[in-house]
Chain A
Amino acid sequence: MSLASETIRHQGSRAPARLVAGLLGGLLVAGFALPFVAFLWRAGSVALWETLAEPATRTAIRNSLLTAPVATGIATALGVPLAYVLARASFVGKRVVEALVILPLVVPPVVGGALLLSVVGRFTPLGAAAASAGVPLTDSLLGVILAQTFVAAPFVVITARAGFAAVDERLEQASRSLGHGPIATFTNVSLPLARGAIVAGIVLTFARATGEFGATMMVAYNPRTMPTQLWVAFISGGIDAIVPLAVALLTITLAVLALVRRVARVPTVVDA
Chain B
Amino acid sequence: MTGVERTRDRAVADRDGDETPALEVDGLSHRYGRTQALTDVSVAAAPGELIALLGPSGCGKTTLVQAIAGHLHPTAGQVALHGTTVTTVPPESRGVGVVFQRSTLYPHMTVAENVAYGLAAQGVPDETRAERVRRYLELVELTHLRAASPDALSGGQARRVELARALAPEPDVLVLDEPLSALDRRLRVRLRDEITRIQRTTGVTTLFVTHDQADAMTVADRLVVMRDGTVAATGTPRALYESPPNRFTARFLGRSNELAGRVVDDDVGRALGDAASDDELDLVRVAVGETRFVVPDTAPKTDRVLVHVRPEAVRVAAAGVGDDRERTDRNGSDHDAESGGPNADRDATVSLDGTVARVADAGSRYDVHVSLDSATAIDEGLETPRAVDSPPTVTAECTRCRLAAGDRVRIAFDGRDVSVFPWSTERAESGGAGDPVR
**5 further contact pairs, Cβ within 8 A, besides A175-B117, A177-B98, A178-B92:** A168-B104, A173-B100, A177-B69, A177-B91, A179-B121
The answer to whether A179 and B98 have CB atoms under 8 Å apart is: no
Interface of chain B: mostly helix, strand, loop or mixed: mixed
Partner of A173, one of B71, B106, B117, B122: B71
Q: List 15 A-B contacts (CB under 8 A).
A: A168-B104, A174-B100, A175-B117, A176-B71, A176-B91, A177-B71, A177-B96, A177-B166, A178-B169, A179-B122, A180-B120, A181-B92, A184-B121, A189-B106, A193-B106
Among A171, A176, A177, A184, which residue has its beta carbon within 8 angstroms of that of B106?
Answer: A171
- Residues 52-87 of B, flagged 1 when their CB comes within 8 A of A and 0 if not, give 000000000000000001110000000000000000
Q: Is the CB of A180 within 8 A of B108?
A: no
B108 touches A193 (CB 8 A): yes
Interface residues on A, range: 10 to 19
Q: Chain B residues with Cβ under 8 A from A173's Cβ? A: 69, 71, 91, 98, 100, 104
Tell me the smallest distance from the CB of A220 to a CB of chain B, in Å: 41
The number of A-B residue pairs with CB atoms under 8 Å apart is: 60
Task: Name the CB-closest residue of A to B102.
Answer: A170
The range of chain B's interface size is 20 to 34
Q: Complex formed: what's the CA distance from A175 to B118 in Å?
A: 8
B165 & A178 in contact (Cβ 8 Å cutoff): yes
Instruction: Confirm or deny: A108 has a beta carbon within 8 angstroms of a beta carbon on chain B.
Output: no
- Whether B97 sits at the interface, judged by CB under 8 Å, is yes
Is A81 interfacial (CB-CB < 8 Å)?
no
B320 in contact (CB, < 8 A): no
Asked whether any CB of chain A lies closer than 8 Å to the CB of B107, the reply is yes
Q: Across the interface, which residues of B come within 8 angstroms of A189, CB to CB?
A: 106
Q: What CA separation (Å) do A192 and B96 show in the bound complex?
A: 25
Q: From the candidates B70, B100, B122, B169, name the one contacting A176 in the complex (CB within 8 A).
A: B70
Point out the residue from A168, A179, A193 that lies within 8 Å of B118, measured CB to CB. A179
Q: For residue A179, which residues in chain B have a CB less than 8 angstroms away from its CB?
A: 92-93, 118, 121-122, 169
Contact pattern, A 159-183, Cβ under 8 Å of B = 1, otherwise 0? 0000000001011011111111110
A192 to B69, CA, bound (A): 24
Residue B322 at the A interface, CB < 8 A? no
Q: What's the minimum C-beta distance from B288 to chain A, rounded to whole angstroms?
A: 50
Bound: A23/B3 CA distance, A: 73
Within 8 A of A (CB), among B207-232: none
With a cutoff of 8 Å between Cβ atoms, the chain B residues found around residue A170 in the complex are 100, 102, 104
A96–B188 Cα distance when bound, in Å, is 47
- In the complex, the answer to whether B107 meets A193 with C-beta atoms within 8 Å is yes
